[in-house]
Protein backbone atom coordinates (compact mmCIF):
# COMPACT_ATOMS: atom_id res chain seq x y z
CA UNK A 1 0.00 0.00 0.00
CA UNK A 2 1.23 3.48 -0.81
CA UNK A 3 1.85 5.82 2.10
CA UNK A 4 0.65 9.43 2.06
CA UNK A 5 1.89 12.01 4.55
CA UNK A 6 -0.29 15.09 5.09
CA UNK A 7 2.15 17.72 6.29
CA UNK A 8 3.87 21.09 5.90
CA UNK A 9 7.67 21.23 5.44
CA UNK A 10 8.19 23.99 8.02
CA UNK A 11 6.35 22.24 10.86
CA UNK A 12 8.68 20.76 13.48
CA UNK A 13 6.38 17.79 14.03
CA UNK A 14 6.13 17.14 10.29
CA UNK A 15 9.92 17.25 10.04
CA UNK A 16 10.05 14.68 12.84
CA UNK A 17 8.01 12.23 10.75
CA UNK A 18 9.94 13.07 7.60
CA UNK A 19 13.25 12.21 9.28
CA UNK A 20 11.95 8.69 9.95
CA UNK A 21 10.73 8.28 6.38
CA UNK A 22 14.00 9.57 4.93
CA UNK A 23 16.17 7.46 7.25
CA UNK A 24 14.94 4.26 5.62
CA UNK A 25 14.16 5.70 2.17
CA UNK A 26 10.55 4.65 2.71
CA UNK A 27 8.46 5.45 -0.39
CA UNK A 28 5.60 7.86 0.28
CA UNK A 29 3.58 10.67 -1.24
CA UNK A 30 3.89 14.09 0.38
CA UNK A 31 0.52 15.87 0.54
CA UNK A 32 1.23 19.56 1.18
CA UNK A 33 -1.21 21.06 3.68
CA UNK A 34 -1.69 24.82 3.98
CA UNK A 35 -4.04 25.37 6.91
CA UNK A 36 -4.80 28.83 5.54
CA UNK A 37 -6.50 27.21 2.57
CA UNK A 38 -10.06 26.08 3.28
CA UNK A 39 -9.83 22.97 1.11
CA UNK A 40 -6.57 21.83 2.73
CA UNK A 41 -7.91 22.45 6.23
CA UNK A 42 -11.10 20.54 5.42
CA UNK A 43 -9.16 17.59 3.98
CA UNK A 44 -7.04 17.40 7.13
CA UNK A 45 -10.08 17.73 9.41
CA UNK A 46 -11.77 14.87 7.55
CA UNK A 47 -8.87 12.66 8.60
CA UNK A 48 -8.17 14.04 12.07
CA UNK A 49 -10.71 16.39 13.66
CA UNK A 50 -8.05 18.17 15.73
CA UNK A 51 -6.62 19.56 12.46
CA UNK A 52 -3.04 18.87 13.49
CA UNK A 53 -0.39 17.53 11.17
CA UNK A 54 1.36 15.29 10.33
CA UNK A 55 -1.13 12.56 9.50
CA UNK A 56 -0.03 9.39 7.72
CA UNK A 57 -2.47 7.41 5.58
CA UNK A 58 -1.41 3.82 5.10
CA UNK A 59 -4.06 2.04 3.06
CA UNK A 60 -7.14 1.93 5.28
CA UNK A 61 -5.20 3.08 8.32
CA UNK A 62 -5.10 6.73 9.42
CA UNK A 63 -2.17 7.40 11.75
CA UNK A 64 -1.91 10.81 13.50
CA UNK A 65 0.79 12.26 15.76
CA UNK A 66 4.46 12.17 14.77
CA UNK A 67 5.63 9.78 17.50
CA UNK A 68 2.85 7.33 16.69
CA UNK A 69 3.61 7.61 12.97
CA UNK A 70 7.24 6.68 13.64
CA UNK A 71 6.23 3.68 15.75
CA UNK A 72 3.80 2.64 12.98
CA UNK A 73 6.59 2.84 10.41
CA UNK A 74 8.89 0.86 12.67
CA UNK A 75 6.32 -1.91 12.99
CA UNK A 76 4.72 -2.02 9.54
CA UNK A 77 7.42 -0.60 7.23
CA UNK A 78 10.71 -1.50 8.92
CA UNK A 79 14.06 -0.66 7.42
CA UNK A 80 17.73 -0.79 8.40
CA UNK A 81 17.20 1.91 11.04
CA UNK A 82 14.93 0.70 13.83
CA UNK A 83 13.44 3.58 15.78
CA UNK A 84 12.48 1.61 18.91
CA UNK A 85 15.18 -0.67 20.33
CA UNK A 86 14.25 -4.31 20.85
CA UNK A 87 15.52 -4.13 24.42
CA UNK A 88 12.59 -2.91 26.52
CA UNK A 89 14.67 -0.70 28.82
CA UNK A 90 16.37 0.94 25.85
CA UNK A 91 12.96 1.48 24.24
CA UNK A 92 11.73 3.21 27.40
CA UNK A 93 14.78 5.49 27.30
CA UNK A 94 14.04 6.45 23.69
CA UNK A 95 10.39 7.14 24.51
CA UNK A 96 11.35 9.15 27.61
CA UNK A 97 13.63 11.46 25.65
CA UNK A 98 11.00 11.74 22.92
CA UNK A 99 8.49 12.92 25.57
CA UNK A 100 10.99 15.40 27.05
CA UNK A 101 11.65 16.88 23.61
CA UNK A 102 7.95 17.17 22.76
CA UNK A 103 6.75 18.43 26.14
CA UNK A 104 9.65 20.51 27.38
CA UNK A 105 11.23 21.80 24.16
CA UNK A 106 8.57 21.79 21.45
CA UNK A 107 5.62 22.90 23.58
CA UNK A 108 7.31 25.88 25.30
CA UNK A 109 9.01 26.85 22.01
CA UNK A 110 5.58 27.01 20.38
CA UNK A 111 4.30 29.10 23.30
CA UNK A 112 6.98 31.73 22.61
CA UNK A 113 6.42 31.64 18.86
CA UNK A 114 2.63 31.82 18.99
CA UNK A 115 2.73 34.66 21.50
CA UNK A 116 4.65 36.71 18.94
CA UNK A 117 1.72 36.63 16.51
CA UNK A 118 -0.85 37.73 19.08
CA UNK A 119 -2.02 41.34 19.12
CA UNK A 120 0.26 43.33 21.46
CA UNK A 121 -2.51 43.82 24.01
CA UNK A 122 -3.11 40.05 24.21
CA UNK A 123 0.47 38.93 24.70
CA UNK A 124 1.47 36.88 27.71
CA UNK A 125 4.90 38.06 28.83
CA UNK A 126 4.76 36.07 32.05
CA UNK A 127 3.86 32.90 30.18
CA UNK A 128 6.67 33.47 27.67
CA UNK A 129 9.19 33.87 30.49
CA UNK A 130 7.95 30.62 32.02
CA UNK A 131 8.25 28.87 28.66
CA UNK A 132 11.84 30.04 28.22
CA UNK A 133 12.63 28.76 31.71
CA UNK A 134 11.25 25.33 30.84
CA UNK A 135 13.43 25.26 27.71
CA UNK A 136 16.45 26.08 29.87
CA UNK A 137 15.63 23.22 32.24
CA UNK A 138 15.28 20.86 29.27
CA UNK A 139 18.66 21.97 27.93
CA UNK A 140 20.35 21.16 31.24
CA UNK A 141 18.64 17.78 31.54
CA UNK A 142 19.44 16.78 27.96
CA UNK A 143 23.05 17.94 28.22
CA UNK A 144 23.58 15.69 31.24
CA UNK A 145 21.72 12.78 29.64
CA UNK A 146 23.80 12.99 26.46
CA UNK A 147 27.13 12.60 28.23
CA UNK A 148 29.06 9.81 26.54
CA UNK A 149 26.36 9.17 23.93
CA UNK A 150 26.43 9.67 20.17
CA UNK A 151 22.64 9.85 19.90
CA UNK A 152 19.88 10.70 22.32
CA UNK A 153 19.21 7.24 23.70
CA UNK A 154 22.62 5.67 23.10
CA UNK A 155 24.73 4.70 20.10
CA UNK A 156 21.83 3.98 17.73
CA UNK A 157 19.70 6.63 16.01
CA UNK A 158 16.13 6.32 17.31
CA UNK A 159 12.68 7.83 17.71
CA UNK A 160 14.18 10.31 20.17
CA UNK A 161 16.55 11.72 17.55
CA UNK A 162 13.80 12.14 14.94
CA UNK A 163 12.09 14.64 17.22
CA UNK A 164 15.19 16.19 18.72
CA UNK A 165 16.45 17.34 15.32
CA UNK A 166 13.66 19.88 14.65
CA UNK A 167 13.04 20.38 18.36
CA UNK A 168 16.56 21.63 19.01
CA UNK A 169 16.68 23.59 15.76
CA UNK A 170 13.67 25.72 16.64
CA UNK A 171 14.29 25.83 20.39
CA UNK A 172 17.75 27.27 19.74
CA UNK A 173 16.14 29.96 17.56
CA UNK A 174 13.90 30.93 20.48
CA UNK A 175 16.42 30.47 23.31
CA UNK A 176 20.01 29.92 22.11
CA UNK A 177 21.69 26.93 23.75
CA UNK A 178 24.29 28.26 26.24
CA UNK A 179 27.92 27.46 25.45
CA UNK A 180 28.27 25.62 28.77
CA UNK A 181 26.07 22.84 27.40
CA UNK A 182 28.81 21.50 25.15
CA UNK A 183 27.36 17.99 24.82
CA UNK A 184 23.99 19.32 23.74
CA UNK A 185 25.48 21.78 21.26
CA UNK A 186 27.62 19.03 19.72
CA UNK A 187 24.58 16.74 19.52
CA UNK A 188 22.57 19.44 17.77
CA UNK A 189 25.39 19.78 15.23
CA UNK A 190 25.36 16.02 14.59
CA UNK A 191 21.61 16.14 14.00
CA UNK A 192 21.98 18.99 11.50
CA UNK A 193 24.58 16.94 9.62
CA UNK A 194 22.47 13.77 9.55
CA UNK A 195 21.41 13.34 5.88
CA UNK A 196 17.77 12.62 6.74
CA UNK A 197 17.39 15.83 8.70
CA UNK A 198 19.55 17.87 6.33
CA UNK A 199 17.07 16.94 3.60
CA UNK A 200 14.03 17.91 5.69
CA UNK A 201 15.72 21.17 6.65
CA UNK A 202 16.52 22.03 3.04
CA UNK A 203 12.88 21.42 2.09
CA UNK A 204 11.82 23.84 4.83
CA UNK A 205 14.13 26.68 3.79
CA UNK A 206 11.64 28.37 1.39
CA UNK A 207 9.27 28.85 4.33
CA UNK A 208 11.66 30.36 6.88
CA UNK A 209 10.03 33.75 6.39
CA UNK A 210 7.00 32.29 8.19
CA UNK A 211 8.88 32.14 11.51
CA UNK A 212 7.16 34.85 13.59
CA UNK A 213 10.35 35.89 15.39
CA UNK A 214 12.18 36.37 12.10
CA UNK A 215 14.65 34.15 10.28
CA UNK A 216 17.66 33.93 12.61
CA UNK A 217 19.97 33.44 9.65
CA UNK A 218 21.45 30.21 11.00
CA UNK A 219 20.62 26.54 11.23
Q: State pLDDT tens for residues 202-215.
A: 999 999 999 999 99
The neighbour count for residue 131, using CB atoms within 10 Å, is 23
d(CA 127, CA 112): 8
pTM above 0.85, yes or no: yes
**How confident is the model at residue 194, as a pLDDT?**
98
* pLDDT higher than 90, residue 174: yes
* pLDDT higher than 80, residue 1: no
Q: Which domain, by its residues, includes 144?
A: 88-210
> Do 55 and 120 sit in the same domain of this protein?
no
> Do 98 and 194 sit in the same domain of this protein?
yes
d(CA 158, CA 184): 16
Helices (H), the chain: 12-23, 38-47, 66-76, 88-101, 107-116, 125-145, 159-174, 182-193, 195-204
> How many domains does the chain contain in total?
2
**How confident is the model at residue 133, as a pLDDT?**
98
* pLDDT higher than 70, residue 60: yes
> Do 59 and 99 sit in the same domain of this protein?
no
Of 141, 64, 150, 55, nearest to 101 by C-alpha is 141
d(CA 148, CA 154): 8
CA 216 to chain centre: 18
Q: What is the mean pLDDT of residues 137-142?
A: 98
Average pLDDT score, the chain:
97
For β-strands 55-58 and 61-64, DSSP reports them as antiparallel
Q: Residue 184 belongs to a domain with what CATH number?
A: 1.20.1050.10
List pLDDT tens digits, range 182-209.
999 999 999 999 999 999 999 999 999 9
Amino acid sequence: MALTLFAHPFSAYCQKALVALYENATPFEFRFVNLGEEADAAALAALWPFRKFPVLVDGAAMVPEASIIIEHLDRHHPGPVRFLPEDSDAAIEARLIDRVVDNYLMTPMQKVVLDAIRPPEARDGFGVDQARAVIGTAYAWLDARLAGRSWAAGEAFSLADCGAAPGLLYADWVAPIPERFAALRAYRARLLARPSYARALDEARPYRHLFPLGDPGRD
